[in-house]
């Protein structure tokens, strides 16, 4: 099934008031590509200003706490993200799985809380280089997926999966088209097994060193329904050619 593509930017720990003009430039240029969904996941503290600057354009968070509210110093709840103007959030990014030692079970709880509250979710999975070299990438990523998937999904708010090989993030290295195709096909099969027909409609994004120079090749791979873009999403001049590649 050919799904409409989603190209989401993950700004990670980048973005100040002075970057709002770049967000406006991206949102404005995105209107020229009506066949593609575009979103930007910005630092939590920038969400409200970003959402006000680009009404109607999807702004997301990069993490969410699994609890509704409570004594969780420094954390952000799903209702807070929505209150600030977010319509989606990333969960389970490898930089949080590694840096904050987030487990599959926690990520599942975060995804479930976000979806229950009405936030779309981009749930990330991906393997380290040693696992890829041991030819265990597919089994490892499927195990991560099994442990992190929410029990129930719906079309709105949406669940999307981002396959992000950790060794490809910020390195300029990417898997071959065959490797991406093999992983995305395995993810698609597992999603269909888990959710039936609804699993066929879950978008599976690729992430890790996506740039204008490799985007078309990546989007041509079957079961690649978009991209989660880090460094190349910070500037409209770098990001929009990736959106254009998804549109063509
Ligand atoms: P880069 O596009 O900078 O490799 O980052 C990918 C990523 O981690 C997106 O979430």
| pLDDT tens, position by position, 155-196 | 889 999 999 999 999 999 999 999 999 999 999 999 999 999
Structure tokens belonging to residue 83: 């209150």
The span from the CA of 94 to the CA of 12, in Å, is 12
Q: Which residues contact 32 (CB under 8 A, 6 or more apart)?
A: none
CA nearest to 1, candidates 132, 169, 243, 197? 197
At 193-215, the pLDDT tens digits run 999 999 999 999 999 999 999 99
Backbone φ/ψ region at 227: left (φ over 0), alpha (ψ -120 to 50), beta: beta
Torsion of CA 229, 222, 142, 175, to 10 degrees: -60
The span from the CA of 136 to the CA of 232, in Å, is 29
Q: Tally the residues of the chain.
A: 248
Give me ligand 1 centre to Cα 208, in Å: 5
Reply yes or no on whether 112 is catalytic: no
Pocket test for ligand 1, best of 12, 95, 215, 234 (most atoms within 8 A of CB): 12
Give me ligand 1 centre to Cα 232, in Å: 8
144: pLDDT strictly greater than 90:
yes
Reply yes or no on whether 158 is catalytic: no
125 lines ligand 1 (CB under 6 A): no
Structure tokens belonging to residue 237: 């001049």
**Could you tell me the CA-to-CA distances from 148 to 8, 15, 48, 70, 190 in Å, in that order?**
20, 28, 28, 23, 13
Selected catalytic residue, list 102, 106, 127, 164: 164
At 68-102, the pLDDT tens digits run 999 999 999 999 999 999 999 999 999 999 999 99
The span from the CA of 78 to the CA of 117, in Å, is 6
Element (H, E) at 56: none
Confidence class of residue 67 from pLDDT cuts 50, 70 and 90? very high
CB 203 within 8 A of CB 160: yes
229 lines ligand 1 (CB under 6 A): yes
The span from the CA of 118 to the CA of 57, in Å, is 16
Give me ligand 1 centre to Cα 70, in Å: 31
CA nearest to 224, candidates 36, 77, 49, 44? 36
Pocket test for ligand 1, best of 167, 172, 229, 242 (most atoms within 8 A of CB): 229
63: pLDDT strictly greater than 90:
yes
């Amino acid at each position: 099934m050919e799904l409409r593509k989603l190209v989401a930017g993950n700004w990670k720990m980048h973005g100040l008031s002075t970057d709002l003009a770049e967000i406006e430039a991206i949102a404005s240029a995105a209107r020229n590509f009506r066949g593609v969904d575009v979103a930007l996941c910005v630092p939590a503290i920038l969400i409200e200003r970003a959402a006000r600057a680009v009404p109607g354009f999807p702004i997301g968070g990069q993490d969410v706490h699994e609890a509704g509210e409570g004594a969780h110093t420094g954390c952000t709840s799903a209702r807070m993200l929505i209150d600030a103007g977010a319509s989606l959030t990333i969960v389970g990014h490898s930089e949080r799985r590694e840096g904050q030692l987030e487990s599959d079970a926690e990520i599942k709880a975060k995804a479930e809380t976000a979806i229950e509250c009405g936030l779309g979710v981009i749930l990330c999975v991906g393997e380290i280089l040693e696992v890829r070299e041991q030819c265990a990438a597919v089994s490892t990523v499927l195990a991560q997926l099994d442990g992190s998937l929410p029990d129930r999904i719906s079309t709105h708010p949406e669940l999307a999966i981002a396959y992000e090989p950790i060794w490809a993030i910020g390195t300029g290295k990417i898997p071959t088209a065959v490797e991406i195709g093999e992983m995305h096909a395995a993810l698609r099969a597992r999603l269909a097994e888990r959710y039936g027909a609804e699993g066929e409609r879950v978008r599976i994004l690729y992430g890790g060193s996506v740039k204008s120079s490799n985007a078309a090749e990546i989007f041509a791979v079957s079961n690649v329904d978009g991209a989660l873009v880090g460094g190349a999403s910070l500037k409209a001049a770098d990001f929009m050619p990736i959106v254009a590649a998804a549109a063509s």
